[in-house]
Amino acid sequence: DIQMTQSPSSLSASIGDRVTITCRASQGIDNYLAWFQQKPGKAPKSLIYAASSLQSGVPSRFSGSGSGTHFTLTIKSLRPEDFATYYCQQYSGYPPTFGPGTKVDIK
């Protein structure tokens, strides 16, 4: 199985900060990479697919980049509703696998 790692595992940030989360795959996955957001007790929300394509309705302050084994999720200007845990997921190899998550909390 393809292993996914994320860094950092957690970060503290302030409203308005630019936040970048890194995701790495144990082998090349082209751009078959998705990101989603999870808040406690809520349905996960899909943000990005194909490494950089925004899901419908996702604010433009979210962006994704990368290809191969190295990917990033950037939140341009952090808003209160963005405090959550973020996961990357590869769907190049079978089975699909997920990263361990990055928790973004308030500084």
Partner 1 sequence: EVRLLESGGRLVQPGGSLRLSCAASGFTFRNYAMSWVRQAPGKGPEWVSAVSGSGTRTYYADSVTGRFTISRDDSKNTLYLQMNSLRAEDTAVYYCAKDPFAAPHYYFDYWGQGTQVTVSS
Should residue 71 be labelled a site residue for partner 1 when binding is judged by CB under 8 A?
Answer: no
Residue closer to partner 1, measured from CB, 17 or 52: 52
Q: Does 68 bind partner 1 (CB under 8 A)?
A: no
Residue-wise DSSP of 39-56: -TTS--EEEEETTTEEPT
Using DSSP bridges, classify how beta strands 102-106 and 85-90 pair: parallel, antiparallel or unpaired: antiparallel
Q: Name which of 17 and 46 has its Cβ closer to partner 1.
A: 46
Residue among 47, 92, 48 at smallest CA distance from 69: 92
Shortest distance, CB of residue 79 to partner 1, whole angstroms?
21
Closer residue to partner 1 in complex, CB, 83/91:
91
**Gap between the Cα atoms of 101 and 98, Å rounded:** 8
Could you tell me which of 46, 59, 41, 57 has the C-alpha nearest to residue 91? 46
| String of contacts with partner 1 for each residue 31-50, x by CB under 8 A | -x-x-x----xxxxxx--x-
Interface residues toward partner 1, by CB under 8 A: 4, 32, 34, 36, 41-46, 49, 55-56, 87, 89, 91, 94-101
